[in-house]
Structure 1
Amino acid sequence: MKLMKSLAVMGAALMMPMLANADEQAAERLTHLLEPLKTYSADFDQQILDGSGQRLQEARGHIWLSRPGQFRWEVEAPYRQVVVSDGQNVFLHDPDLEQVTIQPLDTRVTHTPALLLSGKASALTENYDVSRQQQGTTETFTLLPKSPDTLFEDLKLTFRSEALRGLQMSDSTGQRTAIAFSDVEANAPIESSRFDFQVPEGADVIQEAH
């Protein structure tokens, strides 16, 4: 039994460098896919599921990204909502409430998942442990935050034929947000005005700080 236990410990010790190398290779592969991505535009379908997989909420709309730090997220249904980052501030516009919330852009990628796409790819290896699975032309990367000070427990990015097609986040309650992208355009020109937000006349403005 002692011999078997010793062999098991030795085996585990030998596997550690291999696992570390696999994580490094996964991070390098993800960086390779994200680094050339200067702009990104796509329709999206979003579902929020509880821990048992029951659907709590769904929405659809369009997303535009321009690196570094600019994004526009427009929810068209069931309720209109717009989130815009100009690289310095984030504007959340709720037309039904006639309300705009403004806050400084949180550059911590563990707090702002959109920065995984619009920020620096090198920040991934600094803030996440990355693993990778592949089936055919589909690659799924699982990112686990290294810091406990984060808004989600894990995040998955799915690529098909090297194009980003899905994003999924899970929080500590087991709730999952799953987003599927379609009609994807990568590195196509996007007008800079997409990332300029003008507060509508008459809207209530809430200014937040970190």
Structure 2
Amino acid sequence: MRLIKMLSALALALPLSALADEAAGRLTQLLEPVHTYSASFEQQILDGSGQRLQEAEGQMWLSRPGKFRWEVEAPYAQVVVSDGDEVYLHDPDLEQVTIQALDTRVTHTPALLLSGSAADLTEAYAVSRRQQGAAETFTLTPRTADTLFEELALTFYSERLGVLQMADSTGQRTAIYFNDVQLNPSIPAERFTFAIPEGTDVIRDTH
């Protein structure tokens, strides 16, 4: 208990800039060892009043730099794949694939946060940190207005990412809860390639 009080007093004595640098450094320390990552997930989207708008669940895989695959299994199937250069969004029900260049700005592609680049993080976000038991939560506020989100929060449990939360300018919030987390698993390269099914309409988004 005395040690906790001493650490708390030390934290209060540090300038805010030092605390921000410490928070960014700790987040980088957690992210940098992550080269690959896989988990199941549950996603909830809430409006500004907290009303639940949408739920989804599925599986995801990540490989740095810039490769990821999200497979939504319910309530409607959907696949999002990045091969590091382009992102493919496949909607099986519509028999449609949308292709666009990967936006490498972390303020536009939250999945890239797991790339663990300290320079990108501190350049794009102001980082703060709070600890509650075994949970460490990092709140990231974009430094510029050119972003899809007003705030991002990453919560780690025993140094594993457990929750990613995002809020936009309308007050809508997205929360993604990760389960069955595996750090640095062996993931086949083909997981991050997408073969367009025959007969599928292809839309190339140039924006």
Instruction: Give 1:187's match in structure 2, choosing from 180, 184, 205.
Output: 184
Q: Check 1:121–1:37 CA distance in 2 against 1; reply closer, same or farther (3 A cut).
A: farther
Larger radius of gyration: 1
- What's 2:48 paired with? 51
1:171 equivalent to 2:168? Answer yes
Secondary structure in 1 aligned to 2:15? Answer: helix
Q: Check 1:16–1:111 CA distance in 2 against 1; reply closer, same or farther (3 A cut).
A: farther
Partner amino acid, structure 2, of 1:185: Q
CA positional deviation for 1:27: 0.1
- What's 1:33 paired with? 30
Partner amino acid, structure 2, of 1:202: G
Q: Work out the CA distance in 2 between the residues paired with 1:37 and 1:140.
A: 17
CA positional deviation for 1:120: 2.9
Q: Deviations over 1:73-110 (max 9, x none)?
A: 00000000000000000000000000000000000111
1:108 equivalent to 2:97? Answer no
Instruction: Give 1:148's match in structure 2, choosing from 145, 149, 166.
Output: 145
Q: Deviations over 1:136-182 (max 9, x none)?
A: 11000000000100001000000000000000000001000000000
Moved more, 128-137 or 110-119: 110-119
1:158 equivalent to 2:164? Answer no
List aligned pairs for 1:58-137, cutoff 5 A: 58-118=55-115, 120-137=117-134
Percent identity of paired positions between Structure 1 and Structure 2: 69
Determine if contact 1:167/1:180 at 8 Å carries over to the other structure. yes
Partner amino acid, structure 2, of 1:144: T
TM-score by length of 1: 0.91
Secondary structure in 1 aligned to 2:195? Answer: coil
Q: Work out the CA distance in 1 between the residues paired with 2:13 and 2:144.
A: 21
Q: Deviations over 1:32-51 (max 9, x none)?
A: 00001000000000000011
CA positional deviation for 1:118: 3.6
Count of residues in correspondence between the two structures? 196
Determine if contact 1:109/1:123 at 8 Å carries over to the other structure. yes
Determine if contact 2:134/2:158 at 8 Å carries over to the other structure. yes
CA positional deviation for 1:119: 6.1
Gaps of 5+ in 1: 1-14
Q: Work out the CA distance in 2 between the residues paired with 1:209 and 1:116.
A: 24
Determine if contact 2:28/2:116 at 8 Å carries over to the other structure. no
- What's 1:196 paired with? 193
Partner amino acid, structure 2, of 1:23: A
Q: Work out the CA distance in 2 between the residues paired with 1:118 and 1:136.
A: 26
TM-score by length of 2: 0.92
Q: Work out the CA distance in 2 between the residues paired with 1:28 and 1:119.
A: 10
